């Protein structure tokens, strides 16, 4: 399938801001490029998360420490530079990249020779279609005369698509749900399983109370970090105000360790409903094909509200799922108990399955990125 793919050397630059989402996406990108025969260097300022996120090395990916200033001794820039999420590639590296183009007697501005990609964040908003693939001439600095191109991941045709491994569906088909749950220490008795990966959602308290009073037992599979801290704080508050809030024990908890990217996929596949946050876990939940609730990263200017609406529009989410998202994300005012949004994953299942089918009909991000580099550069 990839016999005619040109073999290129890629330099991917990533800065770890917080929550490890950026490095998660960049590691997946690097691995998927390497799996298709590409040579990849991943430059990252803090690679410690890879110890648990990706404990097994990936053949063809070399992790390099991004220091300041960057030590370029015995380093020759590759064919493609990927600037992930506006991280601004080191000026010395850009200068070296430009030098090696000119040293070969090539025109700096030649689209056939300058392969500089600005990989953007995922969004379902309409500007992605307008902006995907656009050139951005560099007018000053060490890269003057070069041209970078914007590459936007997306959910529709005409965008860059989503990261997806070539063997994803095969791995899903082979997944043994009971065996994996047993490995995590859960003696599963058929209760509803819900994965919880979030920040500090506004709707958490109301939701916990609703689950505790539901006739169907639920086990929350809780990820470490902010999700665990937010849950512990809410449980502590509820127990202090009403020690019997979960007296029927309809709601139970399994606290998970830090999971590798492979095991996080397994968590999503094992769960009946997935609560996710950020970008990387949202994409993985879409591939899981299960009902999902997205805790979008809140922004001071409320830009996340329009971003969430665009995603729900693309998802063709039913009214109950839209209402739940608004409450979970603190966009809608806190509702009283009689008007609490229902937790109806049954109604959401068809929506999630259809979304996965639509996405599978599109080429994945790596396929599109290689095609973009080959065709336009």
Catalytic residue set: 22, 279
For 150-166, letters b (16+ CB in 10 Å) and e give bbbbbbeeebbbbbbbe
How far, CA to CA in Å, does 334 sit from each of 138, 202, 241, 322, 329?
A: 47, 8, 19, 15, 10
Distance CA 95, CA 104 (A): 14
Q: What are the φ/ψ torsions at residue 240 (nearest 5 degrees)?
A: -65, -40
Query: Quick check: 219 and 255 in contact, CB under 8 A?
Result: no
Longest alpha-carbon distance in the chain: 77
> Would you say how long the chain is, in residues?
377
For 110, the token pair is 């030649």
Cis previous bond, 135, omega within 30: no
Instruction: Report helix angle 345-360 to 280-288, nearest 10.
Output: 100
Q: What are the φ/ψ torsions at residue 276 (nearest 5 degrees)?
A: -125, 170
**Under the phi-then-psi rule, with left for phi > 0, alpha for psi from -120 to 50, and beta for the rest, what region is 256?**
beta
For 75, the token pair is 């380093």
Could you tell me where the beta strands, DSSP code E, fall in the chain? Answer: 9-14, 39-44, 61-65, 80-84, 116-119, 135-137, 147-151, 192-196, 218-222, 251-255, 273-277, 292-295
For 134-143, letters b (16+ CB in 10 Å) and e give eeeebeeebb
Pairing mode of beta strands 147-151, 135-137: antiparallel
Task: List the strands of the sheet with 218-222, edge to edge.
Answer: 251-255, 218-222, 192-196, 273-277, 292-295
């Amino acid at each position: 399938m990839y016999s005619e793919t040109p073999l290129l050397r890629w330099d991917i630059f990533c800065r770890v801001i917080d929550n490890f989402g950026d490095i998660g996406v960049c590691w997946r990108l690097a691995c998927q490029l390497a799996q298709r025969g590409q040579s990849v260097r991943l430059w990252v300022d803090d690679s410690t998360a890879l110890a648990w996120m990706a404990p097994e090395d990936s053949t063809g990916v070399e992790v390099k420490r991004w220091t300041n200033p960057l030590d370029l001794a015995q380093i020759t820039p590759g064919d493609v530079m990927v600037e992930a999420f506006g991280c601004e590639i080191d000026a010395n590296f850009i200068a070296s990249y430009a030098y090696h183009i000119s040293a070969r007697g090539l025109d700096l501005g030649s689209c056939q020779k300058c392969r500089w990609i600005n990989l953007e964040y995922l969004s379902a908003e309409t500007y992605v279609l307008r902006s995907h693939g656009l050139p951005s001439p560099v007018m000053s600095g060490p890269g003057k005369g070069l041209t970078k191109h914007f590459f936007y991941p997306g959910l529709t045709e005409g965008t860059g698509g989503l990261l997806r491994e070539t063997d994803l569906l095969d791995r899903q088909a082979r997944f043994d749900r009971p065996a994996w749950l047993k490995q995590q220490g859960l003696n599963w008795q058929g209760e509803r399983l819900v994965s919880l990966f979030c920040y500090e959602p506004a709707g958490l308290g109301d939701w916990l109370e609703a689950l505790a009073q539901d006739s169907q037992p639920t086990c929350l599979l809780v990820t470490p970090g902010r999700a665990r801290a937010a849950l512990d704080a809410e449980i502590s508050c509820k127990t202090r105000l009403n020690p019997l809030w979960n007296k029927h024990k309809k709601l139970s908890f399994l606290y998970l360790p830090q999971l590798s990217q492979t095991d996080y996929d397994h968590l999503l596949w094992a769960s009946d409903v997935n609560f996710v946050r950020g970008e990387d876990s949202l994409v993985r939940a879409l591939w899981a094909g299960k009902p999902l609730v997205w805790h979008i990263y809140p922004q001071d200017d409320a830009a996340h509200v329009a971003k969430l609406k665009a995603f729900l529009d693309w998802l063709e989410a039913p009214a109950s799922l839209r209402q739940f998202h608004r409450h979970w994300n603190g966009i809608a005012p806190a509702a009283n108990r009689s008007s609490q949004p229902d937790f109806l994953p049954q109604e959401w299942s068809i929506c999630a399955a259809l979304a996965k089918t639509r996405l599978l009909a599109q080429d994945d991000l790596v396929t599109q990125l290689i095609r973009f580099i080959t065709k336009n550069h």
